[in-house]
Amino acid sequence: MTPAFFRTILSAIALALPATAQEPRLVPPIDCDLTRSCYIQQYMDRDPGPGATDFTCAGLTYDGHKGTDFALPTLADMASGVDVRAAAPGIVAGVRDGMDDLGYTPERRAELAGRECGNGVLIQHEGGWQTQYCHLKQGSVAVSQNQTVETGTVLGQIGQSGNAAFPHVHLSVRDPDGASVDPFDPDGTLSCDTPGDSTLWADPPAYRPGGLLNLGFSDAVPDYQRVKAGEAAADSLPVDAPALVVFAYFFGPRAGDILQLEITGPAGQVIADEITLSKTQAKAFRAIGKRRSSAPWPAGRYTGTAVLLRDGAPVDRMTAEISLR
């Protein structure tokens, strides 16, 4: 999908660029660490039918998804400001700004129709290739139409504008014919034996099949909205807290995955549990805890540990600490 305003000067720009079909070499469009502070939530759907599969023949996508979603764990991370950068050099072919970051809800479907990309930037590259960057933060777009950009030029910041359920930038890549291309495996042939045997990336980001986004403590099982906002974790707790809870927030879980959660404190293990996840989801959170007895908790440092397992092997591990005093 290319909004009409993104098409206004493509013909003129195509004439100004060399007539070559050379593929671009891309860098990740987000200024963060893709192994921890940000991640890829969804890849391009490579299943031509009603199902959904990513380029590794796994399910980190959804039916009809035409791009790659580079995401931030929480709304607090979005508020701190994370830059979106040009994945390759080119000329800005269209921009839009001014849409709010309230994101998608079913009630907003009609309001967002035709503007699903939200605040965005379209770049025309050599040979007619295009990259499009969607869901930027309101007021953050930093380039203008017809501007020449280099690889790494700041385009704006991660937001949740348009048809977005979480803070991310949706990167679409299109070839000179306007067809969507998967930058992780652009040859058009999906091979489960050799995923990613072709690439548009100068240095392909490592594939993460899922992982932990946040781990924190609270004195009760937190509300999921506060977890997603990045507001659920306590900095410290009193020794008379009514309960001690550790929660894990994670992406890409599959049915049958196991989440191990544990709390240890100055006196040793407080609680541990192993949770079998019953369904495949984009994101989820789970928590375990223990109510305080009549005596206060021992003062000192407490450690929370989460391990996400798939087929018996660890997918990710995270620890967090808190002081009780």
Q: What is the pLDDT of residue 9?
A: 35
* Beta carbons within 10 angstroms of residue 43's beta carbon: 25
Cα–Cα nearest to 286, from 263, 322, 267, 261: 261
Last residue of a domain, one of 114, 146, 174: 174
For residues 165 and 215, state if they share a domain: no
Is 162 in contact with 116 (CB distance < 8 Å)?
yes
State whether residue 254 is helix, strand or coil: coil
Q: Which of 6-10, 85-89, 188-192 has the highest mean pLDDT?
A: 85-89
For residues 165 and 284, state if they share a domain: no
Q: What is the pLDDT of residue 22?
A: 85
Query: What's 74's domain CATH number?
Result: 2.70.70.10
pTM of the model: 0.90
Q: What is the pLDDT of residue 240?
A: 97
For residues 170 and 224, state if they share a domain: no
Measured distance CA(272)–CA(292) in Å, rounded = 15
Q: What is the mean pLDDT of residues 157-165?
A: 97
Q: What is the mean pLDDT of residues 169-180?
A: 97
pLDDT tens column, 5-25? 333 333 333 333 333 358 999
pLDDT tens column, 100-139? 999 999 999 999 999 999 999 999 999 999 999 999 999 9
In a domain, 203, yes or no: no
The pLDDT of residue 302 is above 90:
yes
Q: What is the pLDDT of residue 21?
A: 57
Q: Residue 193 — very low, low, confident or very high, per pLDDT cuts 50/70/90?
A: confident
The pLDDT of residue 292 is above 70:
yes
The pLDDT of residue 300 is above 80:
yes
Measured distance CA(241)–CA(164) in Å, rounded = 37
The pLDDT of residue 154 is above 90:
yes
Share of the chain above pLDDT 90, in %: 89
For residues 155 and 14, state if they share a domain: yes
Average pLDDT, the chain: 93
Domain range for 120 is 4-174
Cα–Cα nearest to 27, from 137, 154, 120, 145: 154
The number of folded domains in the chain is 2
For residues 215 and 285, state if they share a domain: yes
Query: What's 218's domain CATH number?
Result: 2.60.40.10
Measured distance CA(195)–CA(191) in Å, rounded = 6
DSSP 301-323: EEEEEEEEEETTEEEEEEEEEEE
For residues 149 and 236, state if they share a domain: no
Q: What is the pLDDT of residue 191?
A: 87
Provide the terminal-to-terminal Cα distance of the chain, rounded to the nearest Å: 55
Q: Residue 267 — very low, low, confident or very high, per pLDDT cuts 50/70/90?
A: very high
Of 188 and 232, the structure prediction assigns the larger pLDDT to 232
